[in-house]
Amino acid sequence: MDMKYESDVIKKGNGEKISIMFPPLLRQTIIMSVVLLFAVLIISIVYQIYGPSILQRLDDNVGENLMKFARALEQNKNIEDAKRIYETATRSRFAGEFNRTYVFYRLGYLCWADQEFERSVEYLTQAVQSENHPQINAYEFLVDSLLRLGRQMEALPFVEQWLQKIQKREDLANAHYYLGRIYDLSKDPSKAEEAWNKGHKILPGSKASFELAFYYKKQGNCKKAVYYAEAVLKAGLLPTREPAIKKLISQCNSEK
Amino acid sequence: MGRRNREQNIKTEIVNDTISSILRKMAIYVVIPLWLLAVVLSLSPFTGDPAAPIKYLIISVFVMMISAITLAMVWLGNFQLQFKKSLVFILSGSLLFMSLSTVFAKNKGFAISELSIWLMLFAIALYVPILVIDKKEMQWVLSWVMIAIALSSVYGFFQRWGIDPFPWSTKNVEEYRGLPSSYANPNFAGHALIFAVITGIGLILTSLKEVRNLQYDIRSKSFILALIKLLFFTVCFVLTFTHLYLTKMRSARIALVVAIAFFIFYLWIGKKWTIKSVLTVGSVLVFWAIVGIIMIVVLLAKGYPEGSLPMDNSLNLRLNGYMGAVQMIKDRPLLGFGPGNYRFENIPYWTRYEKLWFTLAKKRNFHVHSDPLEAMTDTGIPGGLFYFGLILLGFIGGLSFVKKHKLFHEQVLGISMASVFLAFATDACFGFNMRVPVSSALFFLYLGLSQAHVEDLTLTGKKTKGLLVIAFLISVLLVIQQSRYYYADVQLQKARGGMYWAQVFANQQKLNSRELALERALQSAESGIQIKYFDPRFFEITARIYMTRNEFEKAIENFDKALYYDSYNPELWTSRAQCYLNWVYRAQIERKPLTQSIETILDEAEKSLHNAIKYCDLYPDSYEGMARTFFFRTAYIKLPEEKKQELMKEVIRYGEKAFETGLQNSQSLLQILIQAHLAIKDYDGCAKVVQRALSIEPGNIDLWSRYAQIMKQKGYPDEYLSFLEKNYAKFKKDAKTMAPTLSQLALMIHQEILRNTKDTRKASEIILETLKLNPNDLSTWGTVVQTVPREQRLANIRKLKDYFKDTPDIPDFVQKMAKEEDQIDWLEISREIIKNIEQDEKQNIPYKTIVLRYVWIAEVAYDENTQRESADKADLYANLATIYQKLRFDDRALSCFPFASKATNKTTQMKVMYTWAEILYKKRKYAEAEEKLQQALQIDPNNVQSRALLVQTLIQLKKIPEAKFEYQSLKQTLPANSNTLKSLEQLMMPYLKNP
């Protein structure tokens, strides 16, 4: 094809030829492109040499990455996939011990929520069995799972461990509630009463108070039953259990 | 005369100028805005994420329209066409290397389809500077970019608030859960949003300046107009900026920071510098950036900072992906792997993390997530050079707008354009911006705009018209091509939809609808293949449809084609193997002949799985497939015992590996492992597998009885009884729903106590306790009855009925059997059992539960009536035979036939003979089966079922001429599309071909 070149700036001799072949814009573009290309190639070569060590380091905390991925799935209510990824994470390497036990805790909790108590016990036991980073929150679900499986004697040492590690008042009351339940299921009502009483004293109106209300009602001591029932209503900590408490109070009142 | 001619010429010239001007303005004021709205906002309901096919179709139509307008301007008008030399050089250089790498690409079809997209995008960059020549026009175009993207942000916000004007079929996808927008992906939105945000800053600044200039005359129309413009652009900016913030894209945020910093610097300081100085400073910055990055890389590699690296999954995946990309560039530095071929060629370069990601999420990267690296993996190092060329051309073009003496709004226009390219380059380091339809279209639009006013050499040609005609024809071809691709993608979605519905219908037992859905899906997939023959997704879906229809050979053919284009895909290799395995399994179940030997088929399966493991050794499905393959070898091929044992060890090895790599709850694999452990007499291992299976499915009665068998082999260890009792106690809490399992466990505990203590009374306690828990459950009654000697069973039922006389809801069958002997209507009972079994089967009640519920009643009926003579005895035994056959108690069924064959009713006789023959055939007693079938056909010569079975029996007896005769007579009575005829034809195939 016949091409005609027009130039805004006309120069003479070789300079003109170069300017026609490579106008300034093109020259600048090509030079800068070469600079950037070299930059990328140099970085690529360095990455090829040192990259494997970095990837190895990343691989060492693959457990953490899987944990984050599973947490995102959990937040999106994709529980099945979250459980699957957590499970893979339990077999992976972790850089931090806390994260490893956290994965066991979440997996155990999800199994507990799905009423898979055998599995939940398996994972939650791992979550609390760590010298420096046991998951304190896991104790409640672990003990609850064991109670639901009818393995109350196995639950007792865990409650004792839990009581030693608790820092919050609410958790302490909760632990005493579970302690009471263990004794209750082991047919030791006096110890159960004692534990629930402690729970009530620590946090009036908590689950321990609720249990005491029903315990005394069963004993035929309506006065005490109403006392603890009213404590539950007053505290308002157990809104889902209030209908049962109100029923108990009305029954006791009608008995009078 | 001469003067008149001259006047005429001037007149024509004016008319021509007017035509070309009208056409050009039409392109700027109508075509470009409409295209921008369409390309940004379009979301085809038929295509998946991203909505690329519809957007590329729109781009192709746009290219055709602007090429037609340009052609008309030159042809009809007086328009002098000029191309910018630098732009032409960079675009043609890019195209040249893309074309060369396409020639050497493995999947050339896919590379060509990608190349055609680049061709369209390059055309935008080439035509835009021809059409847009005025700065006001440039601002007009940029305003529409802003408007279109702001509108898409509004759409995205509505989706976020749950008000979706175009609802998606499912909201349960990642793309929707992020911040969805018309881009169908928050990341894709981010890439486009940076254009809008930076352009928005420029437009706000110019409007602000305009308002300030007019502030002394606030009542003038111009002031109000400027104020409205300012407000409008501010609203658009706020919308797009908020949208960008909500996409949570880190790279887009970094890009924005870099671009805004540059914007501020250049507006106040940089504009005083020459472009050369700016580029020199840029080179120095690049140098220091390299030094910095190298230092960071080395420090990270050497273990600094100590402790874990706070990388999330997406960063981790990118760093792993970059390693593969760098190695790919090293392997093919000159021409790369071809446009778009990264997705197919990258798998062998996967790192361990990428393999793990594929295993967990069933996902793989289709792009490097770094445009410069992807440019080089696609088209080699020269391709990388031209990639930077495209960006820098736009960047320098934008900078060249900014001169000290120019007006403020012109300076801002140039800086905002240069900043857009800088932001694009920064963002593209971590994404694939140039491969996403909207951001790539905008990039080339901006590139074209940046060249509109640049001082550069121009190329003009004498044969411009011819060139433009060719370009127009190519653009028409591109429209046709993109329409076809869009149509193909719609077909792909239809095929996927068909598969989805087939699954839904299968669950609902709507088999005709399922067949219809699959047929339509197949038609869609096959019509897609006609167009996108190079796209493995079409062959894959076709293969899966054939696999669902049990047409395994055709499925394998399609898997092979898919693997031709996507040779390293572990999922495809595994599916191919599964297809082979299903083929063998199905043939064995249905006793159908195979067109290849079992050895060959299993070899192929093994080969496929070896490849799958080779490319991804963390993929559990391939290990499961391998375990199944070895298991099938032991089951379907005659092998010496030693070899079988060896293979069983392999089954266990691969099975354990499958669970180790994350296979979830596969009961079928656990069943295989149980059998493998049993075969090598590893009862401890077997017990562990059964316990694992029971932890997944504690109610599975089959597993419990298997557990009992293993314990027997282990000599009933001490923990056996306690394990049973523990589980019994667990299930007791849920006695009603776990009734069949509870009764199975009760029976096992009863047997164990009896074995240990020989104390019948003590052993029976658990049985009675279970019956008390579930007196209305048939399977529990069955358990109780089974523990009593045969001759005492009926009496025992009566006794127990008396015991539970006050209990409501005692099963009807029990009440009917507890009557006086002469009042029991056994025939009616047998009919009801058949009816109940059929109902249970429809409700998908597990087989073992059905057995537990009904077999004991049949047993009692059988025992009580053997010695008795009655008119309906033959009918009763015919029914009992049917019950036993349904419950798969074939030997028991065979023992009923001598009584049943005495039936006088012809229909019953016919049914008995056929069922008898069917069981004999199943037991490979072909001669006896033939005899019964001949008798059946004597009763009813037109019975198709019997004749069809006779053909099969004769083939097994190698009585081929007789089989052919029977087949021909069937062919005359049945319609040509009959399924019976089709399956017989398959069986007869080898004999029909070779008379």
pLDDT, one tens digit per residue, over B121-149 is 999 999 999 999 888 999 999 999 999 99
What mean pLDDT, rounded, does chain B reach?
Answer: 90
B322 interfaces chain A, CB cutoff of 8 Å: yes
Does residue A206 register a pLDDT over 50?
Answer: yes
Domain membership flag for residue A72 = yes
pLDDT tops 80 at residue B182: no
Is A6 a residue whose pLDDT tops 60?
no
The per-residue pLDDT for A14 is 59
Residue A224 confidence (pLDDT) above 80? yes
Q: Where does the pLDDT of residue B48 fall: very low under 50, low under 70, confident under 90, or very high at 90 and above?
A: low
Arithmetic mean of pLDDT, A2-7: 40
Distances (CA, A) of A256 to A226, A227, A249, B550: 12, 14, 11, 75
Is there a domain that residue A77 lies in? yes
Q: Which of A3-17, B238-252, B311-325, B683-697 has the lowest mean pLDDT?
A: A3-17
CB-nearest to A54 from B319, B459, B664 is B319
AA letter at A211: E
pLDDT of residue A5: 40
Mean pLDDT confidence for B496-516: 88
The verdict on a CB contact (< 8 Å) between B392 and A53 is no
- Confidence bin at A19 (pLDDT 50/70/90): low
pLDDT digits (tens, 9 = 90+) for B540-556: 999 999 999 999 999 99
Least CB–CB distance from B392: residue in A33, A87, A96: A33
Per-residue pLDDT for A12 more than 60? no
B326–chain A Cβ distance below 8 A for any pair: yes
Beta strands in B348-435 (DSSP E): none
pLDDT at site B977: 74
CB contact under 8 A, B308 and A36: no
Where do the domains of chain B lie? 86-131+271-286+313-460, 137-248, 905-993
CB–CB of B967/B951 below 8 Å? yes
pLDDT digits (tens, 9 = 90+) for B31-43: 999 999 999 998 8
Residue B248: per-residue pLDDT: 85
Closest chain A CA to residue B291: A43
- Is B235's pLDDT higher than 70? yes
Query: Which range is least confidently modeled, A127-141, B284-298, B321-335?
Result: A127-141
Residue B995, pLDDT score: 47
Encode pLDDT of B816-828 as tens digits. Answer: 998 888 889 999 9
| Band of pLDDT at residue B174, cut at 50, 70 and 90 | low
Contact B146, B240 (CB under 8 A): yes
- Answer whether residue A233 is part of any domain: no
Among B179, B316, B462, B621, which would you mutate to test the A interface (most chain A Cβ atoms within 10 Å of its Cβ)?
Answer: B316
- Closest-approach residue (CA) in chain A for B451: A25
Helix H segments across chain A? 13-21, 24-60, 62-75, 79-90, 97-113, 117-128, 138-148, 152-165, 169-185, 189-202, 207-219, 222-235, 242-255
Closest Cβ opposite residue B312 in set A8, A30, A65: A65
Q: How confident is the model at residue B760 (pLDDT cuts 50, 70, 90)?
A: confident
CB < 8 Å from A in window 403-462 of B: 454-462
Domain of residue A84, CATH code:
1.25.40
Paired with A3 in beta bridges are: B461
| Closest residue, chain B, to A44 (C-alpha) | B326
Q: Does B112 touch chain A (CB under 8 A)?
A: no
Whole domain around residue A94: which residue ranges? 60-135
Looking at the complex, report in whole angstroms how far the Cα of residue B392 sits from the nearest Cα belonging to chain A: 6
- pLDDT greater than 60 at residue B680: yes
Q: Is residue A125 part of a domain?
A: yes
Instruction: Give the mean model confidence (pLDDT) for residues B63-77.
Output: 93
> In one letter, which amino acid is B867?
Q
Q: What is the pLDDT of residues B904-918, one digit of tens each?
A: 888 888 889 999 999
Q: What is the CATH number of domain B905-993?
A: 1.25.40.10
B301 CB within 8 Å of a chain A CB = yes
Predicted local confidence at residue B637, as pLDDT: 93
Question: Measuring CA to CA, which residue among B635, B720, B645 is closest to residue B671?
Answer: B635
**Residue B58 has what pLDDT?**
97
* A16 within some domain: no
Cα–Cα distance for residue pair B954/B960, rounded to 1 Å = 7
Task: Find, in chain B, the residue whose alpha carbon is nearest to that of A45.
Answer: B326
Contact state of B360 with A69 under an 8 Å Cβ cutoff = yes
Closest CA to B455 of B90, B84, B171: B84
Helical axes B371-399 vs B85-103, angle rounded to 10°: 170
Q: Do A7 and B457 touch (CB under 8 A)?
A: yes
For residue A4, pLDDT beyond 60: no
Please report which confidence band the pLDDT of residue B642 belongs to, taking 50, 70 and 90 as the band edges: very high
How many whole angstroms separate alpha carbon B973 and alpha carbon B968? 9
What is the C-alpha separation between B925 and B912, in angstroms, rounded? 17
pLDDT band at B17 (very low <50, low <70, confident <90, very high): confident
For residue B364, which of B395, B415, B328, B321 has the smallest C-alpha distance? B321
Compute the average pLDDT of residues B421-430. 96
C-alpha–C-alpha distance, residues B749 and B783, integer Å: 12
Which tops the pLDDT comparison, B42 or B982? Answer: B42
To probe the interface with B, which of A29, A60, A122 has the most B CB atoms within 10 Å? Answer: A29
Choose among B309, B372, B388: nearest Cβ to A61.
B309
| Structural domain count, chain A | 1
Grade residue B929 by pLDDT with cuts at 50, 70 and 90: very high
Identify the pLDDT of residue A20: 65
For B538-549, give the DSSP string: HHHHHHHHHHHT
Q: How confident is the model at residue B461 (pLDDT cuts 50, 70, 90)?
A: low
Of A237-246, B98-107, B581-590, the range with the highest mean pLDDT is: B98-107
Considering CB atoms only, which of B85, B313, B388 is closest to A26? B85
The residues, any chain, with a CB within 8 Å of residue B721's CB and separated by 6 or more, are B749, B752, B753, B756
The reply to whether A108 falls in a domain is: yes
| Whole-number pLDDT of residue A9 | 42
Closest residue in chain B to residue A38, using alpha carbons only? B385
Tokens, residue B605: 């399966």
Q: Which residue of B has its CA nearest to A35?
A: B283
A95 contacts in chain B (CB < 8 Å): 307-309
What is this structure's pTM? 0.82
Residue A191 domain-assigned (yes or no): no
pLDDT value at B104 more than 90: yes
* Inside any domain, residue A113: yes
* Residue of chain A whose alpha carbon sits nearest to that of B325: A44
Cβ–Cβ under 8 Å, residues B816 and B831: no
Helix or strand (DSSP H, E) at B845: none
CA–CA dist B699, B848 (Å, integer):
11
Read off the pLDDT of residues B183-210 as tens digits, 9 standing for 90 and up. 777 778 889 999 999 999 999 999 999 9
Calculate mean pLDDT across residues B854-860.
93
B170 phi, psi to nearest 5 deg? -140, 140
Mean pLDDT of B152-174: 78
Residue of A6, A11, A25, A53 to mutate, interface with B, max B Cβ within 10 Å: A25
pLDDT at B460: 67
Q: What is residue B735's predicted lDDT score, i.e. its pLDDT? A: 87
pLDDT at A226 over 60: yes
DSSP-H helix ranges across B549-665: 552-565, 570-590, 598-615, 620-636, 641-660
The 3-state secondary structure of B794-822, one letter per residue: HHHHHHHHHHCCCCCCCCHHHHHHCCCHH
Bridge partner list, B458: A6, B84
pLDDT at B237: 97
Asked whether this complex has an ipTM greater than 0.85, the answer is: no
Confidence of residue A136 (pLDDT cuts 50, 70, 90): very high
Q: Are residues B313 and A68, on separate chains, in Cβ contact within 8 Å?
A: yes
Q: How far apart are CA B968 and CA B970, in angstroms?
A: 5
Exposed/middle/buried for A183, CB within 10 Å: 0-12, 13-18, 19+? buried
Identity of the highest mean pLDDT range in A5-19, A149-163, B195-209: B195-209
Partner-chain contact A6 B319, CB within 8 Å? no
Q: Which stretch, A32-36, B7-11, B771-775, has highest mean pLDDT?
A: A32-36
pLDDT value of position B731: 87
Position of tokens 């084609």? B561
B:668-707 residues touching chain A, CB 8 A cutoff: 695
Cβ pair B787, B764 in contact under 8 A: yes
Could you say which of A42, A58, A118 has the minimum Cβ distance to residue B290? Answer: A42
CB contact under 8 A, A47 and B322: yes
